[in-house]
A = this chain, B = another copy of it.
Amino acid sequence: MGITERRIREKEKVRETIIAKAWEMVQADGWEALSIRKIADAIEYSVPVIYDHFENKEAILSEFAKEGFRILSKKMEQAKQKAANPVEQLKAMADAYWNFAMKNTAYYRLMYGVGMQCCSGLGKDKEGFDDHVTDTIRQIVAKTKYKNTNVCLKYHTFWSILHGLVSIKITEQSRQDRELNKLVLQDAIEGFIKNLK
């Protein structure tokens, strides 16, 4: 009875082709340019076939958003492991966040809805990201005399600084030079760490 298995494999292959071609488009021209009809054209199937694999257009896009969060989370974990002490870990993670966003603007724009109407619970997909950061912050705080610092609050501050920097950089594009942005990042994170102690 390998027939149904082959069928399932073939169907899965179509699904993967949809994802692949859709991602090509998103990466090339941004998520705004993604169109069901264009995908259908690229995969050489008719339009309704896509709806056999995805509920709607947004479902395809949120697939990419999830993937983005997975990659970011992994990058930050790696950065954390390479650094020796908590302070360095926090700096490394900020750097990883920044580098990810700069090298994968298509992902980032999707993840944080920098130009997205849905944002239907995308925050839920952050998975892991917050744990890495909160853990590190907790360790830094533990070494200071202010033991009852609100770690959750600090985490939000950390995240806000990063996201603000990145989204301004992405929206403003050229105009600003790369050097300044790197400096702003370092400056902001340094200020954040000083305020922890």
Chain A interface residues toward B at CB < 8 A: 30, 32, 112-117, 119, 122-123, 150, 152-154, 156-157, 159-165, 167-168, 171-173, 175-176, 180-181, 183-184, 187-188, 190-192, 194-195
Contact = CB atoms under 8 A, between A and B. Distances in A.
Contacts of A165: 160, 164
Given A161-B164, A195-B195, A30 B117 contact: yes
Nearest to A124: B175
Given A164-B164, A168-B163, A188 B114 contact: no
Most chain B Cβ neighbours within 10 Å, of A156, A159, A194: A156
27 contacts: A30-B117, A113-B115, A114-B114, A115-B117, A122-B171, A123-B175, A153-B180, A153-B183, A153-B184, A154-B187, A156-B181, A156-B184, A157-B184, A159-B168, A160-B161, A160-B165, A160-B168, A160-B184, A161-B164, A161-B188, A162-B164, A163-B164, A163-B167, A164-B164, A187-B195, A188-B192, A191-B195
A95 to B, nearest CB: 15
Nearest to A196: B191
The 3 closest A-B CB pairs, nearest first, are A164-B164, A191-B195, A160-B164
B32 A117 contact: yes
Contacts of A154: 187
